[in-house]
Amino acid sequence: MPYLFTSESVSEGHPDKVADQISDALIDNFLAFDPNSKVACETLVTTGQVVLAGEVKSEIYLDVQKIARDVINRIGYTKGEYMFDGNSCGVLSAIHEQSPDINQGVERANPEEQGAGDQGMMFGYATKETDNFMPLALDLSHRILKELAALRRENKEIAYLRPDAKSQVTIEYGDDNQPLRIDAIVVSTQHDDFDEEPAMLAKIKEDMIKILIPRVKSQLKPEIQALFTDQIIYHINPTGKFVIGGPHGDTGLTGRKIIVDTYGGKGAHGGGAFSGKDPSKVDRSAAYATRHIAKNMVAAGVAEEVLVQVSYAIGVAKPMGIYVNTYGTSKVGMSDGEIAKKIEGIFDMRPYAIEQRLKLRNPIYEETAAYGHMGREYEKVFKTFKNPYGEAKTLEVELFTWEKLDFVDKIKKEFGI
């Protein structure tokens, strides 16, 4: 029997994402000047105020206020009428030194024996549903908001947009778990104030359906475009006007959008957030590593859908175990347990090995903090950082290394594909 599945996304101007981006900008700046930095940084944003808190062990001193303001301005909170803007908001820092009790469990004389920064379980997921091996509902939700942000910055076709926004896509699937059509699309976008509410709300709805959605649709391959039918139910700003938004409308905190950050409710989640954590925290690094495994396994043809779990004890390098679920889509004539055993032999999942394999001790994290950490495009870029002493560093870094399909041939060889 057909069924519906829904995923949501939030824009870079959503208050929780503002907090995530500030936290990850701090991570990047610490790693740029001291790659061995240990950082766990949380951010709170509210009306006219940013609060930074957390623990740091680093050789570098940073102007955290300037870093936070630069992020806020880049996102687009630059006007006093937003009641939160990068030039005038207060920034309070309560960051202090990392506990030596935690640090002793992570650092080792032999770097390869580096212990996990915490206990817990992490999940990676991949599916053949899309070209980037992500669930379709989440992929479309992200695309809608990325295109909405592009329209806002162009300020041509739509001139009233403000930074805060949310999207949601519901897809109908058939008995074979293949998408049949898009059932509903929700877009809630912050906008400038206006005098005539009914007329403006009608214009916003028309612009979203006739300008935004066609731009998103044009980026997709024909078989996905075919899912956009005249029967789609649209809910555009369903509560009415949305002028008060961002941190003024809703307090934002680091780590509150973990499902948006991962797989939109598909697969599973261990509960740990990513942003604000250096790669010694396996909440982040092992989640990237399991995504890397799952994506390469699906691309290699081991299965059409794969979930990978890994678990750790704090201070212990070797994982407690690796679990694999192929949802009955395995193509290799092995049980999921046998597949997991083979994967354990292909991928070294000790924290130090993950850091080295995925090049995680580089300033690559601010880019992850909006529109999902998974399903993004691997690329090399140059990034420049400045410290309070006037020193500037320009580094070439690799973004989204966990999205590389660099283990496909090895997996095929091991599985005899």
Picking from 183, 217, 244, the residue at the C-terminal end of a domain is: 244
Any idea what the CATH number is for the domain that residue 315 is in?
A: 3.30.300.10
| Residue whose C-alpha is closest to residue 9's, from 206, 106, 148 | 148
Q: Evaluate whether residue 249 is within a structural domain.
A: no
Residue 352: strand, helix, or coil = helix
Looking at the structure of the chain, the number of domains it has is 2
Picking from 221, 244, 267, the residue at the C-terminal end of a domain is: 244
Q: Is residue 347 marked as binding?
A: no
Q: Is residue 193 marked as binding?
A: no
Considering the domain architecture, whether residues 124 and 150 belong to the same structural domain is answered as no
Considering the domain architecture, whether residues 124 and 191 belong to the same structural domain is answered as no
Considering the domain architecture, whether residues 124 and 146 belong to the same structural domain is answered as no
Picking from 223, 244, 265, the residue at the C-terminal end of a domain is: 244
Q: Is residue 55 marked as binding?
A: yes
Considering the domain architecture, whether residues 199 and 235 belong to the same structural domain is answered as yes
The residues, any chain, with a CB within 8 Å of residue 192's CB and separated by 6 or more, are: 160, 161, 162, 243
Q: Evaluate whether residue 107 is within a structural domain.
A: no
Number of H helices, E strands in the chain: 13, 13
Q: Is residue 277 marked as binding?
A: yes
Q: Is residue 273 marked as binding?
A: yes
Considering the domain architecture, whether residues 357 and 329 belong to the same structural domain is answered as yes
Q: Evaluate whether residue 309 is within a structural domain.
A: yes
Q: Are 373 and 20 in contact (CB under 8 A)?
A: no
Task: Classify residue 351 as exposed, middle or buried by CB count within 10 Å of its CB (0-12, 13-18, 19+).
Answer: buried
Amino acid, res. 387: N
The string of DSSP letters for 264-321 reads TTSS---S---TTB-TTSHHHHHHHHHHHHHHHHHHHTSBSEEEEEEEE-BT-SS-SE
pLDDT at 390: 87
Q: Is residue 291 marked as binding?
A: no
Q: Is residue 376 marked as binding?
A: no
Considering the domain architecture, whether residues 124 and 152 belong to the same structural domain is answered as no
pLDDT at 168: 98
Q: Evaluate whether residue 367 is within a structural domain.
A: yes
- 248-264 b/e (C-beta count within 10 Å ≥ 16 → b): bbeebbbbbbbebbbbb
How far is 163 from 160, CA to CA, in rounded Å? 10
The phi, psi pair for 107, rounded to 5°, reads: -80, 140
Considering the domain architecture, whether residues 234 and 292 belong to the same structural domain is answered as no
- Listed in order, strand segments (DSSP E) in 133-223 are 161-173, 179-191
Q: Is residue 165 marked as binding?
A: yes
| Residue whose C-alpha is closest to residue 69's, from 22, 124, 119, 116 | 22
Q: Is residue 241 marked as binding?
A: yes
Pairing of strands 379-386, 38-46: unpaired
CA 148 to chain centre: 17
The residues, any chain, with a CB within 8 Å of residue 73's CB and separated by 6 or more, are: 85, 86, 87
Range of 360's domain?
120-128+279-415
Q: Evaluate whether residue 96 is within a structural domain.
A: no
Q: Is residue 226 marked as binding?
A: no
Task: Report residue 87 as tokens.
Answer: 């030039």
Considering the domain architecture, whether residues 338 and 400 belong to the same structural domain is answered as yes
Q: Is residue 164 marked as binding?
A: yes
First to last CA, the chain: 33
Considering the domain architecture, whether residues 155 and 196 belong to the same structural domain is answered as yes
Q: Is residue 256 marked as binding?
A: yes
Q: Evaluate whether residue 99 is within a structural domain.
A: no
Considering the domain architecture, whether residues 292 and 167 belong to the same structural domain is answered as no
pLDDT at 299: 98
Q: From first to last of the 417 residues of the chain, give the pLDDT tens digit.
A: 899 999 999 999 999 999 999 999 999 999 999 999 999 999 999 999 999 999 999 999 999 999 999 999 999 999 999 999 999 999 999 998 866 655 555 665 566 678 787 889 999 999 999 999 999 999 999 999 999 999 999 999 999 999 999 999 999 999 999 999 999 999 999 999 988 888 999 999 999 999 999 999 999 999 999 999 999 999 999 999 999 999 999 999 999 999 999 999 999 999 999 999 999 999 999 999 999 999 999 999 999 999 999 999 998 889 999 999 999 999 999 999 999 999 999 999 999 999 999 999 999 999 999 999 999 999 999 999 999 988 999 999 999 999 999 999 999 999 998
Q: Is residue 143 marked as binding?
A: no
Considering the domain architecture, whether residues 297 and 353 belong to the same structural domain is answered as yes
Considering the domain architecture, whether residues 284 and 228 belong to the same structural domain is answered as no
